Structure 1
Amino acid sequence: MSASNGTWDSERPLGVAVLGMGNVGTEVVRILRDHADDLRARVGAPLVLRGVAVRDVSKDRGIPAELLTTDAEALVARDDVDLVVEVVGGINPARGLILSALNAGKSVVSANKALLADYTGELAAAAEANRADLYFEAAVAGAIPVVRPLIQSLSGDRVNKVIGIVNGTTNFILSAMDETGADYGDTLAEATRLGYAEADPTADVEGFDAAAKAAILASLAFHTRVTAADVYREGISKITSEDLETASALGATVKLLAICERVPAGPGEPTAAEGGKERVSVRVYPALIPRKHPLASVNGAFNAVVVEAENAGRLMFYGQGAGGAPTASAVLGDLVMAARNKFYGGRAPGESVYAELPIAPIGDTLARYHVNLQVADRPGVLAAVAGEFAQHGVSISTVRQQGHGEGARLVVVTHEATESALADTVAALAEMDSVTHVTSVLRLEGTEE
């Protein structure tokens, strides 16, 4: 024991195990080795790499071969390991390895958004029961510090809304479509060639990655456990160059947004003033946003998150949302915090789910909509279309007709309406003889009525 801190001998190293050595794990190991002196000064004791779990120990990874192992379970169980960094990804075996570490009283730093979106409660309970820490700043938006501000900096405030671009692949694709006029398929191929998209891009382009991150952000912002299954999700694979053109005509662009917000109690339920509960709406979908909105200028593979709090107002976090070095920066920030807690005897904040707000169904969500219709070019069509909107309680803000003959299109922008009302309207429009095709339906976010 050290007389200066009463908890940890400043000469005794804190042992670190790293699980996974892909892009992020490689950078974590590099920083641990290259900046050992700085990290020791910041923590109070040396951080020593005890081992790295990999699938193939024969591959040259630029570190001594004796540090590599295929037995992750044995590495986590070692007595000289105090801190575990999990950058393997996926649910299994990561879940079991993290639980083993926490149950042994070892603090864990994870960048695993898919795991944390569904199992934070289980992992947080294990951390609490064994007086260990669980940190996961890198699980959302790479190097951008947004998790810790929600947990700590804004813990005395009331967060009303979190909206952001949290997937770099989709943002690169939509930005390129907007700038070049290229279609989705060609832009995805270019993103793949440049390394922004995986060989199988489904998790990104269909919104699964963003939905996992949205679940984590909503859980933290609203003190309510939210899982990926609670998140309404749409991807960008149906977005066309025509959608970007019509967005531009409205002074807008298209972004894949993660939106988490407090919404009123459901129909027929007591309001908050009457003792009822607000609800939480969490959704991921492509939406039109005005060019003047702060998220509209976030282009390429960058991410940004806007937090709206009752007293702090609007806060924006912007930066590299992915990549080995940026994500490793967030991992090392968490690792230093966990190591300091070991050294000084502190604890990380635990899971906060006291509010237990119900999840609002997507059908109750209010939004404005941009509806693109291919129609027959004959008298009375506009009136018939407008009548369907009115019949389902959806008020029209503007209508524009583009083209003539078989290529005639109507672009309808609505006032706020519920998702269920809009869905009923679109279904009815699709059955009309005068409507050839409902080309696209996009929400409008960040607009004023």
Structure 2
Amino acid sequence: MLIKLHKYFILIALFGGGFFIGAADLQAATDDHGNSATAATAAAFGKNIAGRIEVRRDVDYFKFQVPRKGLLTVFTRGGTDTYGVLSDASGKVLKRSNDGAASTDGKNFRLRYQVPGAGTYYVAVRYYRNAGAGRYVLRATFRATAVTADDHGNTVASASALTLNSSSIVAGNIERAGDLDYFRFTLTQKGKLVVTTTGNTDTFGRLHAADGKVLVANNDAGAGNNFRITRTLNAGTYLVSVRHRSSTGTGTYQLRLTFTPGTASSGFLFPFKAGRTWTVCQGYNTASITHVGTLRYALDLSIDPDSANGSSGCLLSTAGASTGQSVLAPAAGKIAWEGMSLGLKVDVVCLVLDKVAGNGGRSVMLGHLSLQDGLGMGSVVKSGQLLGTVNAPSAMNGAYAHIHVSMYQSATCQGSSMALGKVFGGSYDFSTDGSTQQWRGTRVSR
């Protein structure tokens, strides 16, 4: 306890009897460092700070500003038996120390603490058991934890690009608390995707649409504490994000993506928009019209349900009904050639398929359309992608707006056309029995 500034009287008893009374002015001892966190001395790392426990129960407080996560070490030097207490900005005691473990510590304390991040920390220094007074020198050091480079981006925009095969594996690491790893991949066709992790890290995974919208999330459906997501997806771009289940957890993992494509029959589409019904207005073997010879196995489609009325081909009174309708790619592939650009004066395109169709077809001829800007010979297209629009009646389409469909075993739409069979899936079976005008009047839907 420090003596307050005041005038005191001193009584001195003499040896052998008698006494003496006198007055004296006493000077109050000055405290070198504050006795509370609010009065703490701001201290710098790597600097020696002189301190003194002036009287019993005196406590000296010091304040340190830590810039980021790392190791904080605080100790004293000197002959005084010191005791140290480390606390955070809220006053919570984090660690205490009496005599340090280093050979040079003697009776001096040494505090070592791994701070989780930037903040204010306090160290209180007193005499051990408040049993005395004395001088000391305080010193503190700080060693920041090395920042590990992020292996995969933390956002949709910075996602790591994956080339998805039937099975793809990539290593990942949740380097620090709150780390999030994003991966981006593209499916060229509809199929089943299984995404999971392996390893000892407790992972949490999410499947996202291309814009980042969460489609599904999972925690522990995989082996151990690993997530697992199974989903049937259409062709398109998707993302997977991986984090630790705990907001403070870290650890390595292996990300596994397994993709199983849909069957060829279910992957081949009618070349018009979903939700529509069209009519076969000219079928196989039309003899006196156009589906003869190498083109005998072809279908002409019109959006008008009355187009098949009459005795022969597409009913001319409905000739313009399909003009301007969208023509879509029935499957993924590449445009092998386009009649108009070759100077053939035919408004048809040949699409070589990425995958052989269920009837063995390698290519499909589509007519009679104007291609979208930017599409032409060599263009790669996805299943269901807009290719163009149906042309108005003209000499090139027999004065009737329609979509022509025929398939070939060659990759160039050359040679004889082949029966379409069950390529469209479902209950549709365009096999042939050799009859004329076969399949004329059939209604088809997506």
Task: Give the TM interval when normalised to the shorter protein.
Answer: under 0.3
Q: Name the one with the larger strand percent.
A: 2
Rg bigger for which structure? 2
Q: TM-score, normalization: structure 2?
A: 0.22
Q: Name the one with the larger helix percent.
A: 1
Q: Whose relative contact order is higher, 1 or 2, with alpha carbons under 8 Å and at least 6 apart? A: 1
